[in-house]
Structure 1
Amino acid sequence: MKLLKIAYLRWTIPFLLFTVVAIFLWHSLHRDPHVVPSPLINKPLPHFQAPVLGIHSQRMTEQDFQGHVSLFNVFATWCLSCRTEHLVLMDIARSHAVTIYGLNYKDDHRLVLAWLKTYGNPYQQVIEDPRGDLGIDLGVYGTPETFIIDSHGIIRYKYVGPLSSSVWQNILLPQVRYWQAFLK
């Protein structure tokens, strides 16, 4: 009887471990890496006061996001994915579908000014965040990341990774339209 119990455990324990690992892997493989849960979703933007790119005497705060739905795009000149995404942001800006604000993350303002002059500026305003303090408050993992902010300054959606035309059309634009209609 004892021998039977040992043989049973010899096969049961590895089977259970295999099952747990398989479930974990299956779940990981079927999760969208661009959808990162954020504790800030449905919460107000954190309080901040940061300089506007190129106009250091002017400051932007979370209050500037109120009154309209906006995209808040975290980018940097050293980010290769941000260059690809920039073309999409230019198209979005030309469509006038939503106001776009930028958060320049851990970058040199001179490089950013040159970059925007070369590639175009889709942003209503760009906030400088050279040390990454606001990025930390927003839970930024890296660049690029894009937030949808409603007209009350509430973070409604976070997309991690570079935007593509498909992501804009199928994910972000429907969200933007929803919040624009919902909060009229």
Structure 2
Amino acid sequence: MSDAPRTGSVMRWLPLAVVGLLGLLLAAGLWLARNPDREALPSPLIGKPAPTFELPVLHEPGRLMSSEELKGTPYLLNVWGSWCPECRVEHPVLTRFAETRRVHVIGYNWKDEHADAMRWLEQFGNPYWVVLVDHDSTAALDWGIYGAPETFLVDADGIVRWKHVGAVDQATVDTELVPLLDALGIAPAEPR
């Protein structure tokens, strides 16, 4: 008895199975993209040392800033880009939070053109203590950044304490960020 008819039957259904599997993967991706709970995805960095980096400073393109320079200072790292609509939504909230000087708010300008980033800050204001630039995702993979906006809280010991995916709104600041700062005993940062 030959296996040829059975093999032919399997081969006939194989393309349909592949298309079905791809359809399921696409549906899962769309669900994750639209599911508001995606912001609650845990980060593997929470409770671990922040990734090291050495990135250019937006306003001083010849200068590099390293993670070593931030040791001993808690900071909020906010991933943004001029191309990001949600970054515009959260910008006034970050500006108000930065004015409290609880921690340094550091901008992480991602995949952006220098002129576009500068124009965006001129138009909407600059709440950041410093803006780091990552045009080619040099450090993004280490941080687990897969979109903008994303925001990380790093304590004075260099440990990642919090990550928020999506736009930070006032409720997030009031119910998550400020209570965490209080719990960690993080006092306002020194003036610029």
TM-score of the superposed pair, with normalisation by structure 1: 0.78
2:106 to 97, 101, 104: 101
Identity %: 38
SS in structure 2 of the partner of residue 44 of structure 1: coil
Secondary structure, aligned partner of 2:77: strand
**Counterpart secondary structure, 1:73:** strand
Residue number among 40, 59, 62 corresponding to 1:57 in the alignment: 62
- AA partner of residue 159 (structure 2): I
Letter in 1 for 2:170: S
Q: Secondary structure at the match of 1:88?
A: helix
1:177 to partner: Cα distance: 2.2
Native 8 Å contact 1:41 1:158 kept in 2? yes
Q: Deviations over 1:109-155 (max 9, x none)?
A: 11111111111101011110001121111001200000000001111
Query: Does the CA-based 8 Å contact 1:63-1:153 persist in structure 2?
Result: no
Aligned pairs for 1:3-42 (under 5 A) are 32-42=37-47
1:129 aligns with 2:134: yes
Partner Cα separation in structure 1 for residue 185 and residue 150 of structure 2: 21
Aligned letter for 1:89?
L
- Aligned-residue offset at 1:41: 1.3
Q: Distance in 1 between matches of 2:67 and 2:128?
A: 16
Match of 1:47 among 52, 56, 59: 52
Amino acid at match of 2:76: L
Helix, strand or coil for the counterpart of 1:174?
Answer: helix
Matched residue count: 154
CA contact (8 A) 2:74 2:186 kept: no
Q: CA RMSD in A?
A: 1.9
Matched, 1:177 2:182: yes
1:161 to 166, 169, 179: 166
Structure 1 unaligned blocks of 5 or more: 1-27
Contact 1:52–1:60, Cα closer than 8 Å, also in 2: yes
Please tell me whether the aligned partners of residues 102 and 186 of structure 2 are also in contact (alpha carbons under 8 angstroms): no
Q: CA contact under 8 A between 1:54 and 1:109: conserved in structure 2?
A: no
1:167 aligns to what SS in structure 2?
Answer: helix
Q: TM-score, normalised by structure 2?
A: 0.75
What is the identity, as a one-letter code, of the residue corresponding to 2:125?
Answer: G
| 1:47 aligned counterpart, secondary structure | coil
- Structure 2: which 5+ residue stretches go unaligned? 1-31, 188-192
1:62-77 aligned at under 5 Å gives the runs: 62-77=67-82
Runs of 4+ in 1 over 4 A off after TM superposition: none
Q: Which of 142, 149, 152 is residue 147 of structure 1 equivalent to? A: 152
